A and B are shown apart, each in its own frame.
Chain A
Amino acid sequence: MRQALNDLRYRLRALFRRDAMDHELEAELQFHLDKEADKHVRAGLSPDEARRRARASFGAREGVKDDTRDVRGLVALETLVQDVRYAARGLTARPVFTAGIVLTLGLGLGANAAMFGIVDRLLFRTPDDLRDPSTLHRVYTSFLADGEKRIDRNLAFPVYLDFARASRSIEAFSAFQTLQTAVGDGAETEQMRVTVASANYFPLFNARPIHGRFFNASDDSLPVGSPVVVLGYGFWRARYGGDPGVLGKTLRVGQSVRTIIGVAPEGFVGLNDQGVPAAWIPITSYAHERRGTAYPANYGWSWLELVARRRPGVSVATAEADLTLAFHESWRREAVSQPGIGTPDSARAAVTLGPLQFNRGPQAGQDAQVARWILGVSLIVLLIACANVANLLLSRAVSRQREIAVRLALGVSRARLIRQLLTESFILAVAGGVTGLAFANWGSAALRSFYFTAEESVAVASDVRTLLFAGVATIVVALLTGLVPALQAGRGDLARALKVGSREGTYRRGRARVVLLVFQATLSVVLLVGAGLFVRSLRNVQGFRLGYDADRIVFAGANLRGTRLNPGDLNALNERMARAAREIPGVTHVSLAESVPFYSNESRGLWVPGVDSIRRRGRFVLQAGGPDYFATLGTRILRGRAFDESDRAGSPRVVVVSDGMARALWENADPIGKCIRISADTAPCTTVIGVAEEVRLRTLTDAREYTYYLPATQYGSPVSPQLFVRIQGEAADFVDPIRRRLQREMPGSAFAAAMPLDRLIDPARRSWKFGATMFVAFGGLALVLAAIGLYSLIAYDVAQRTQELGVRLALGASMGDVVKLVMSSGVRLVVVGLVLGGGLALWGSRWMESMMFQQSPRDPVVFGIVTLVLLAVALLASFGPALRAARVDPNTALRSD
């Protein structure tokens, strides 16, 4: 006890009276040395010799001091403070050097923090307020359809009921779907996200409503449910100004008027990938409003997503087996009314429990894949940045050789020295990390808008997971950049270093630096090849002929909100809408349309005399349009004619088929005049009158997707109230005038919506746009970093070789010789990097293949351009130093040391 107290007293004194104690120690040691010297003087030695002997028998004085300080027990903290001070002094003394490093690391770390935030959101994170996410799964079904395995996450309501009834291993199923639907009445009506959810959806979360309550099982009861709605926090603030008195008021959602029973807390998203919904409504009330009382037995309407919570102690495999059995039972029940679907065994029906995050599941989109790649790319950029910084620190360590040797000779231990150098790189890394977070915070807003809606975007600096990631990355960076120079400094022959310092007679380039540079060049090549490939893909996507002029077309439609119109009224509405749109100045053509690209597609069974198994030949989309359809869309007729005013309800049935469809059905035979039976094999012939160019309506990449066109007048039932409006000028400028004009024609609570057609297609192009943007940005960054690295290496070499070059010049080498000599040494390194990086890119190309758009990942043009760019950069970076080398004055160079 007393000892512990004493210990504490000593340590406290050591901490707070450090300088005094150092002073005392200094005096104590000096006293010792003086006494020892006195002793030798008394023995008859000269005072100088006496002092020398005293020092010799004492040992390295700085070492003794360090050891004695170590004893004080505060050593870790104290030396840390000392090292930090020392490093900070050294760094502030060279502001340009320091700023360069901090900026380099900041760019590298910032890129990673920003990308991490996105990938984390897409792939790893579950909603914060989710209870026990580890036992929750998204439910996927798989089965064979037309001989191909299909994976589906949308299930019919009766399947959900069957699952809930039959499976033992699942504690609870929750069903939900988020839809775009009309919210509000009259002028306030807006198309918004609404989540339709089962009553047990809310108990998945810890969230509690801030006002009122969430809906429960009695609200979500079979078959009708209650007309209630829970508001999203953001919507409640925006529409009701955060008024707690909204409870009990009514709001029209979709077709029906609902009573507001609660408000969700701020930030509550649910299980959405698409952002915060405006409201939540019970499944049964929505299903009933859409499909009447028959929906609980309607196996054909697959629209719900399912999540399942495993019972404690049940493994995923067991639960999947259990659910597969339940699925088989459900399948057999469905087969009673739909014998065409076969048996569950023949269809290999099965259930898979996937991760909660949609983008990690079997149906993950290309966006997530691209995001994962970009995270990889940003890590490579960080590696390059690290290599660069390590290189700079190395060159500094080499030029500090003499300083380091002196400190070693004074008795500073090598371990202490390494610690000091590492402290320096830690300070640099932390400064870089902070800079990086600032970059990320500022730059990621743009990045995130590729992936997330506004209300979801969380600032980087306030996201704990991102901060944690950035912290770890910073530590790794510090170690990566600091270790090589520190170890290099801790090694080496002391006496030689003291004698010659950094000005050795012979020229020797550090192997570590060469390796780092080749490494950088290699990675840069890989990134630039990736950038080139993505840019070409993007250009292919943008230049890709969709088969219509999406940029010239506004899509407008009426949302009837359950207003039931008889066919005659609906046709009349269509007619009124088309006429109204045509009156707007700047509108050139208008046509009705049943299918809308990348939005909704209609299809019917087809029978063609002499052609079997049509469904295996591709996917055939049905379009029905007005007489101006082809002129409105800009889709070209390749053969025959388009339908026109003369093709009326009673006249002979006609159809225009797409080029690919003609070939898929009749190969090389002339399609004009052929017969197609639509909807039933007993239907009358519809005669092919023309062939149109191929169009892309569902995906950009599926080549087995064909379209056929019927005149709206012969469609059989009224076409949906949707229009394509061809305009002159910017499509965005027409959206509002068109919507306002059409609204005047709307019956009852129906409302009109309009948007540029391009907006519907953009999500399909997004992954390439994002990929190209990010690869180019990061590839460019990598190139700049590599160029700086090469420049600094060669400039440093030239400084080291001044004498040698002077000798060469003195012996008659021309300036040209010297320039060539210096430049070739730089270019050689880059060529090695080109070969290695090119090989790496070729090797990795097979994983790129799926992300390219009509683009080979082994495109010689891209590889060629990257080679040229890199060589040009190498020449540029080494030219300056080479010129300086050639201007070396032999006289000064030879005399200088």
Chain B
Amino acid sequence: MPPIDLPQGTLDLLILKALSLQPMHGWAISERLHQVSRTTLQVPQGSLYPALHRLERRGLIKAEWGASDNNRKAKYYELTRAGRKQLAAETDAWEQLTTAVALVLDQA
């Protein structure tokens, strides 16, 4: 199966989900999305950063500089409380949407 492009707006949801486990830096998020989706999702690595900064501006995640594995400084992102609420809401919405779409597809 060839990799598919992300539908508009879903990247934010995926980032929030990835960060719900633990704080991560940008590259780790990109790696995680890649692995967890079993390489089906094609996320251009560059497009991650505008999305991260947008989420930060909206106060859904916050960023902090910390030391990475080999002691280099990296920018770690973590969910805020608002971010958690947003993740829950968006996950619900997403599930409703996919169920509905699946229903339509089955019935038709």
Contact A35 to B27, CB < 8 A, known contacts A2-B59, A10-B56, A27-B73: yes
Q: Are B26 and A32 in contact (CB under 8 A)?
A: yes
User: In the docked arrangement, what's the CA distance between A500 and B5, Å?
Assistant: 36
Q: Which residues of A from 57 to 76 have beta carbons under 8 Å from B?
A: 57-61, 63-64, 67-68, 70-73
Q: Is A36 at the interface (CB under 8 A from chain B)?
A: yes
A-B contact pairs, 25 of them (CB 8 A): A2-B59, A3-B59, A6-B58, A7-B59, A10-B56, A24-B75, A28-B26, A28-B75, A31-B26, A31-B75, A32-B25, A32-B26, A32-B30, A35-B27, A36-B45, A58-B44, A60-B46, A61-B46, A63-B46, A64-B49, A67-B47, A70-B50, A71-B50, A71-B53, A72-B57
B74: which A residues are within 8 A, CB to CB?
Answer: 28, 31
Q: Beyond A31-B74, A60-B46, is A7–B53 a contact (Cβ under 8 Å)?
A: no
Cα–Cα distance between A25 and B57 once the two chains are bound (Å): 14
A39, B45: Cα distance in complex, Å: 14
B88 at the binding interface (Cβ < 8 Å): no
| B contacts, CB < 8 Å to A | 25-27, 30-31, 44-47, 49-50, 53-54, 56-59, 65, 68, 72-75, 82
Distance in angstroms between the alpha carbons of A34 and B27 in the assembled complex: 9
* Nearest-CB residue, chain B, relative to A13: B57
- Which residues in B have their C-beta under 8 angstroms from that of A64? 46-47, 49-50
Cβ contact within 8 Å between A2 and B82: yes
Any B CB within 8 A of the CB of A29: yes
A36 CA to B29 CA, complexed, in Å: 12
With A2-B82, A58-B45, A71-B50 given, can you name 19 additional A-B contacts, CB distance below 8 Å?
A6-B57, A7-B58, A10-B56, A10-B57, A28-B25, A28-B49, A28-B75, A31-B27, A31-B68, A31-B74, A32-B45, A32-B49, A36-B27, A57-B45, A59-B46, A63-B46, A68-B50, A71-B53, A71-B54
Q: Separation in Å of the A529 CB from the closest CB of chain B?
A: 59
Shortest beta-carbon contacts, A-B, top 8 = A6-B59, A59-B46, A64-B46, A35-B27, A67-B50, A71-B53, A10-B57, A32-B27
Contact A3 B82 (CB under 8 A): yes
CB distance from A446 to the nearest CB of B (A): 58
Q: State in angstroms the CA–CA spacing of A359 and B106 once bound together.
A: 80
Chain B residues within an 8 Å CB radius of A29? 49
| Residues of B with C-beta under 8 A to A61 | 46
Contacts of A57 in B (CB 8 A): 44-45
In the bound complex, CA of A35 to CA of B31 (Å): 10
Residues of A whose CB lies within 8 Å of any CB of B are 2-3, 6-7, 10-11, 24-25, 27-29, 31-32, 34-36, 39, 57-61, 63-64, 67-68, 70-73
Q: Which residues of A contact B45 (CB under 8 A)?
A: 32, 36, 57-59
Q: How many Å from the CB of A73 to the closest CB on chain B? A: 7
A residues in contact with B30, CB < 8 Å: 32
Shortest Cβ distance from A36 into B: residue:
B27
> How far, in whole Å, are A60 and B45 apart by their CA atoms in the complex?
10
CA distance A31 to B74 in the complex (A): 7
Residues of B within 8 A of A68 (CB): 49-50, 53
In the complex, chain A residues whose CB is within 8 Å of the CB of B59? 2-3, 6-7
For A3, A28, A57, which residue has the most chain B Cβ atoms within 10 angstroms? A28
Tell me, in angstroms, the Cα distance from A34 to B65 when the chains sit together. 17
- B25 to chain A: which residues have CB within 8 Å? 28, 31-32
Give chain B nearest CB distance to A661 CB in angstroms.
Answer: 91
* A55 CB, min distance to chain B CBs, angstroms: 10
* Option from A6, A36, A72 in Cβ contact (under 8 Å) with B53: A72
Cα distance A97–B65 in the bound complex, in angstroms: 48
Rounded to whole angstroms, the CA-CA distance of A202 and B68 in the bound complex is 84
Shortest Cβ distance from residue A67 to the other chain B in the assembled complex, whole angstroms: 4
B46–A3 CB distance below 8 A = no
CB-defined contacts of B46 to chain A, threshold 8 Å: 58-61, 63-64, 67
Residues of A within 8 A of B26 (CB): 28, 31-32
B31, B44, B54, B57 — which one has the most chain A CB atoms within 10 A of its CB?
B57
Q: Give the CA-CA distance A331 to B44 in the complex, in Å.
A: 90
B69 to chain A, nearest CB (A): 9
Provide the residues of chain A in CB contact with B82, threshold 8 Å: 2-3
| Distance (whole angstroms) from the CB of A47 to the closest CB of chain B | 16
Chain B residues with CB below 8 A from A67, complex form: 46-47, 49-50
A533 and B65 alpha carbons, distance in the complex (Å) = 78
* A70 CA to B72 CA, complexed, in Å: 27
Q: Which residues of A contact B50 (CB under 8 A)?
A: 64, 67-68, 70-71
A73, B54: Cα distance in complex, Å: 9
Q: How far is the CA of A27 from the CA of B65 in the complex (A)?
A: 11
Residues of A within 8 A of B75 (CB): 24, 27-28, 31
Cβ of B47: which chain A residues have Cβ within 8 Å of it?
A: 59, 64, 67
- In the complex, what residue of chain A is closest to B60 when comparing beta carbons? A3
User: Which residues from B are CB-within-8-Å of A72?
Assistant: 53, 57
Residues of chain A within 8 A of B57, CB atoms compared = 6-7, 10-11, 71-73
Residues in B whose Cβ lies below 8 Å from that of A2: 59, 82
In the bound assembly, the distance between CA atoms of A764 and B30 in angstroms comes to 85
Separation of A10 and B53 alpha carbons in the complex (Å): 10
B65: chain A residues at CB < 8 Å are 24
CA–CA, A862 to B2, complex, Å?
77
Interface centre among B27, B47, B58 (most CB of A within 10 A): B27
Chain B residues closer than 8 Å to A39, beta-carbon distance: 31
Query: Cβ of A10: which chain B residues have Cβ within 8 Å of it?
Result: 56-57
Neighbouring A residues of B44 by C-beta, 8 Å: 57-59
B53 and chain A: residue at smallest CB distance: A71
Complex-state Cα separation, A499 to B76, whole angstroms: 42
**B55, closest chain A residue (CB):** A71
> Cα distance A762–B57 when bound, in Å?
73
Q: Which residues of B contact A28 (CB under 8 A)?
A: 25-26, 49, 74-75
Once the chains are docked, how many angstroms separate the CA of A60 from the CA of B49?
Answer: 12
CA distance A63 to B45 in the complex (A): 12
Which residue of the partner chain A has the closest CB to B65? A24
Question: What is the bound-complex CA distance between A11 and B56, given in angstroms?
Answer: 11
When distances are taken between beta carbons in the complex, the residues of chain A under 8 Å from B54 are 71
Complex alpha-carbon distance, A36 and B58, angstroms = 28
- Residues of chain B contacted by A7 (CB below 8 angstroms): 57-59
A27 to B74: give the CA distance in the assembly, Å. Answer: 8
The answer for the CA separation of A63 and B31 in the assembled complex, in Å, is 21
Q: Within the complex, what minimum Cβ distance (angstroms) separates B22 from chain A?
A: 17
Which residues of chain B have C-beta atoms less than 8 A from A63's C-beta? 46
Q: How far is the CA of A71 from the CA of B57 in the complex (A)?
A: 8
CB distance from A28 to the nearest CB of B (A): 5
Question: In chain A, what residue has the closest Cβ to B70?
Answer: A38
Distance, CA A28 to CA B24, complexed state (A)? 13
Give the docked Cα–Cα distance between A35 and B53 (Å).
20
- Of all chain A residues, the one with the shortest Cβ separation from B50 is A67
On whether A31 and B72 interact (CB within 8 A), knowing A58-B46, A59-B45, the answer reads yes
Q: Which residue of B lies closest to A31 (CB)?
A: B74
Residues of B within 8 A of A35 (CB): 27
What residue in chain A is nearest B49 (Cβ atoms)? A68
Q: How distant is the Cα of A28 from the Cα of B73 in the complex, in angstroms?
A: 9
Complex CA gap A64/B26 in Å reads 13
What residue in chain B is nearest A73 (Cβ atoms)?
B57
Contacts of A3 in B (CB 8 A): 58-59, 82
Task: Output the residue of B45, B54, B72 with the most chain A CB within 10 A.
Answer: B45
Q: How far is the CB of B31 from chain A (nearest CB, A)?
A: 8
Complex Cα spacing A293 to B56, Å: 91
A452 and B46 alpha carbons, distance in the complex (Å): 67
In the complex, chain B residues whose CB is within 8 Å of the CB of A32: 25-27, 30, 45, 49
Q: Shortest CB–CB separation between residue B66 and chain A, in angstroms?
A: 12
Q: Which of B25, B44, B53, B82 has the most CB of A within 10 A?
A: B53
